[in-house]
Amino acid sequence: MTKIGVPKEIKNNEFRVALTPSGVGELTRHGHEVYIETSAGAGSMIDDLDYVAAGAKILDSAADVWAAGDLIIKVKEPIEPEYERMREGQVLFTYLHLAADKPLTEELIKRKVTGIAYETVQLPSGGLPLLYPMSEVAGCLAPQVGAYNLMKAFGGRGVLLGGVGGVGGVARAKVVIIGAGVSGQNAANIALGMGAEVTMLDTDLGKLRMSFWRYDNRVQGLASSTLAIADQVQQADLVIGAVLIPGAAAPKLVSNELVAAMKPGSVLVDIAIDQGGCFEDSHPTTHADPTYTVHNSTFYCVANMPGAVPHTSTYALTNATMPYAVALANKGWEQALQDDASLALGLNTHAGRLANVQVGDAHGIPTADLADIL
């Protein structure tokens, strides 16, 4: 029997929760105890009584939940007020994004927490099953927030993504998406639906071929290079940064100098901000204060974009994480990782050691060999 804690998320405007009542029911059916902080699901429209009906125990405070849980399941990485609640030997299963967060990396090492990151669980195919659903959500949101910030009242160019057809005869806005992975493909889908002219860049020609067939040649696919990015970004009304290197810091692909050459009132949405961002001037923002200006362009760099649609995001995330959570609870973290090589790649820290090479490279911290830890 494993004691599982689910605290309420405290990141700015983060309304997701790590488990749905059905997830609680699955864990309690296997004989585990689940402790939920009161009102943890309120932002996702889940009542405490729904959790109780599924077999959870409701605790009054975050401190109580962290103290009760040997396995803590979250949505977002712990932030500073939560550091002191982590303890040696505790297993933390959540998004960590350590390559962009040296203070948290050092805290997990210092406190000897076993940190298993959703975003580095990786299938043999290269797919990221626990990042996939939130990448879908962020990709779908990016054109929406981009279109909103292109309105003149919010500092934008005053451009409608779909233009005006018929007798209006006004050209569509140009949307440039850097990265043709999950978030980029979903961004293209929504931008097309809104009527925009869409160009997608990637170094992986296979992904560009997939977009050709998926979108019936309505998306222009270009091999990504410094020159190609510079050319397309200067023409763009909206740029969406959707580049991901699993576990590693995102490459900086749009320079300050290039932003200075963009159209006045253009908008840049950085989906990669959780991993440090792929624009030179990107820094994390919040839903409460989502944008800032660089030269004459607006940057949107909210680090928890899917938190804006928590009901959708919570259920999508639990659907993906549940099999892994059950394995961790049933078998214990060590046996679960030994039995599943994909889950093993999620291990980032254990017993005061860093187990992720990309994070070590980002921060200059030595890493232990995963095989030695297991």
Which amino acids are annotated as binding site for substrate, given as ranges?
A: 16, 76
Candidates 97, 237, 281, 350; catalytic one: 97
Active site residue 287: no
- CB of 229 within 8 A of CB of 205? no
Active site residue 231: no
Binding residues for NAD(+): 135, 202, 207, 224, 243-244, 271-274, 302-305
Candidates 101, 274, 281, 350; catalytic one: 274
- Give the active site residues: 97, 274
